[in-house]
A and B are shown apart, each in its own frame.
Chain A
Amino acid sequence: DAKTTQPPSMDCAEGRAANLPCNHSTISGNEYVYWYRQIHSQGPQYIIHGLKNNETNEMASLIITEDRKSSTLILPHATLRDTAVYYCIALMNRDDKIIFGKGTRLHILP
């Protein structure tokens, strides 16, 4: 599975869109991009995943660049409850084991 790189931390004002970048320049054509988040004192929670097309669900949107070397997770209207560590993971197969990196610590500022 391809290595991903994320900034260690980011700030975002409450009510604004939070845009979390992820670099996966060595991703192969059939690797998925998954995003999880971990709120303090809880286990990680799945957010969204995608292969080539942009995806949207009730939690977030995932924008994958055309060359698939990077992606952005968008939380459209960030709230204080979105303060968490966000992990971007590349997976060759949806049944592959998930290896977590250090993620991005997102602080939502009131």
Chain B
Amino acid sequence: EAGVAQSPRYKIIEKRQSVAFWCNPISGHATLYWYQQILGQGPKLLIQFQNNGVVDDSQLPKDRFSAERLKGVDSTLKIQPAKLEDSAVYLCASRNTGGTGELFFGEGSRLTVL
């Protein structure tokens, strides 16, 4: 079974530029999450999708961050304009609703903002 795929693995941009991250969850997983992990901290939930609808985006800085999951499968997370404090690893995870509750994570996309 293929895991959660994310790209790019690494991205370096200057502040005020924009960036987009892509996630392909495990096939059949209805729930998709984006987390932000700053160095030395635990992952912080940014947004949760159920199919193509947003369940929780209360921690998403909506003035600069946006995310979508148009067909209920792949998802993109965009940052525009980026700030220095957005430097982090962006983790995508998916889950099979009604299963054991296990979250499956991708390897993450590491963003450096200069």
A residues whose Cβ falls under 8 Å from a Cβ of B: 32, 34, 36, 41-46, 49, 85, 87, 91, 94-103
Contact = CB atoms under 8 A, between A and B. Distances in A.
A28 B99 CA distance: 21
Contact of B48 (A34, A87, A97, A101): A97
Counting chain B residues whose Cβ lies within 8 A of the other chain, the interface size class is 20 to 34
A43 B107 contact: yes
Contact of B45 (A36, A85, A87, A99): A99
Which 8 pairs show the lowest CB-CB distances between chains A and B?
A: A43-B105, A94-B101, A100-B42, A46-B102, A100-B43, A43-B91, A44-B105, A102-B42
B93 A43 contact: yes
Interface centre among B93, B97, B105 (most CB of A within 10 A): B105
B33 interface: yes
Interface of B: 4, 31, 33, 35, 41-45, 48, 55-56, 91, 93, 95, 97-108
Contacts, number: 56
A99 B45 CA distance: 7
A43 B4 CA distance: 10
